[in-house]
């Protein structure tokens, strides 16, 4: 892998699991008996913005106290060893910012950022790291509701981030899929984009994923352990 000129990595919630951030699917994903799939939608926000904000406020609290783990740090180190030139692209579905805090620079954030708030009325965006938020749901100066700056089901991904991710996937000689159940599209489809363009596909996950059958390597285990050893 060290010899590959172009590496792209797709990460999901599992890479932050060892930092104490809950994943979405599986038994640890439930919050007050709601599944994330029920809460991460524009419909849920329209119906009950306070409930959705309580969930995000709870997650913001956990993320604020979390530290990047050896998996995040190993990916930042791989990028440094690749020596810039855009030959290493980290594509993440995570909104927690832990990759950037570990030192990753060339990051395409497909599902937004939990620290951004966006007005549903005037579209104004602000960065807000207050934990917990003072009033739920928070409101804009224009009095409309603020929403988390993330991508919910049925919403388009940020076009610039998506284009960078797709380009890096097409160019990659090695494509690693780390800590994601690989069931949410279009992110999961990037592995197929890379494979069709000739990349070798590697998976790092303690559990089976739908991509295992087409992968060149499957490394079964927690990403903190495996990536630290891979270095």
User: Which residues participate in catalysis according to the annotation?
Assistant: 111
3 state SS of 95? coil
CB of 94 to ligand BJW, least distance (A): 6
CB of 97 to Zn ion, least distance (A): 24
Q: Which helix (H) or strand (E) holds 112?
A: strand 112-119
CB of 211 to ligand BJW, least distance (A): 10
Residue 201's DSSP bridge partners are: 175
**Which one of 51, 133, 150, 228 is in contact with ligand BJW (CB under 6 A)?**
150
Which range of residues in 45-53, 80-88, 138-146, 149-157 is near ligand BJW by CB under 6 A? 149-157
Q: Which does 119 bind (CB under 5 to 8 A by kind): ligand BJW, Zn ion, none?
A: Zn ion
From residue 74, alpha-carbon distances to 125, 223, 228, 230 in Å are 32, 10, 6, 8
**Which one of 179, 190, 202, 215 is in contact with ligand BJW (CB under 6 A)?**
179
- Tell me if 104 sits within 8 A of 72, measured CB to CB: yes
- Assess 24 for contact with ligand BJW (CB under 6 A): yes
- Assess 49 for contact with ligand BJW (CB under 6 A): no
- Could you identify the residue written with the tokens 């995570």? 94
Within a 13 Å sphere around the CA of 6, how many CA atoms are in the beta-carbon half? 13
Nearer of residues 60 and 171 to ligand BJW, judged by Cβ = 60
CB of 209 to ligand BJW, least distance (A): 6
- Tell me if 52 sits within 8 A of 44, measured CB to CB: yes
- Tell me if 12 sits within 8 A of 22, measured CB to CB: no
- Assess 142 for contact with Zn ion (CB under 5 A): yes
CB of 192 to ligand BJW, least distance (A): 11
Q: Residue count at the site for Zn ion (CB under 5 A)?
A: 7
- Assess 121 for contact with Zn ion (CB under 5 A): yes
Helix axes 70-82, 223-230, angle to 10 degrees: 30
3 state SS of 49? helix
Separation of alpha carbons 19 and 181, rounded Å? 18
As given in the structure block, the two tokens for residue 68 are 């990047």
Ranges within 122-141 binding Zn ion (CB under 5 A) = 122, 124, 140
- Tell me if 43 sits within 8 A of 51, measured CB to CB: no
Where do contacts with Zn ion occur on this chain (CB under 5 A)?
Answer: 119, 121-122, 124, 140, 142, 144
Where do contacts with ligand BJW occur on this chain (CB under 6 A)?
Answer: 12-15, 17-18, 23-25, 29, 36, 40, 93, 95, 111, 150-156, 179-181, 183-186, 205-207, 209, 222-223
């Amino acid at each position: 892998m060290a010899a590959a000129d172009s590496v792209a990595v797709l990460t999901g919630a599992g890479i932050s699991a060892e930092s104490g951030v809950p994943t979405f699917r599986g038994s640890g994903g439930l919050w007050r008996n709601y599944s994330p799939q029920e809460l991460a939608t524009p419909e849920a926000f329209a119906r009950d913005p306070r409930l959705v904000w309580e969930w995000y406020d709870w997650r913001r609290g956990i993320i604020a106290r979390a530290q990047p783990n050896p998996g995040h740090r190993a990916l930042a180190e791989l990028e440094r060893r690749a020596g810039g030139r855009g030959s290493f692209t980290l594509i993440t579905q995570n909104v927690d910012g832990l990759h950037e805090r570990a030192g990753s620079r060339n990051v395409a954030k497909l599902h937004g950022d939990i620290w951004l708030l966006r007005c549903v009325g005037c579209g104004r965006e602000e960065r807000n790291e207050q934990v917990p938020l003072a009033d739920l749901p928070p409101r804009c100066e224009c009095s409309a509701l603020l929403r988390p700056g993330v991508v919910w089901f049925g919403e388009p991904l940020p076009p610039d981030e998506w284009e960078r991710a797709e380009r890096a996937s097409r160019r990659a000689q090695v494509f690693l899929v780390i800590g994601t159940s690989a069931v949410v599209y279009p992110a999961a489809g990037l592995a197929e984009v890379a494979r069709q363009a000739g990349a070798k596909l590697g998976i790092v996950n303690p559990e089976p994923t739908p991509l295992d059958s087409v992968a060149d390597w499957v490394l079964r285990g927690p990403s903190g352990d495996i990536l630290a050893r891979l270095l």
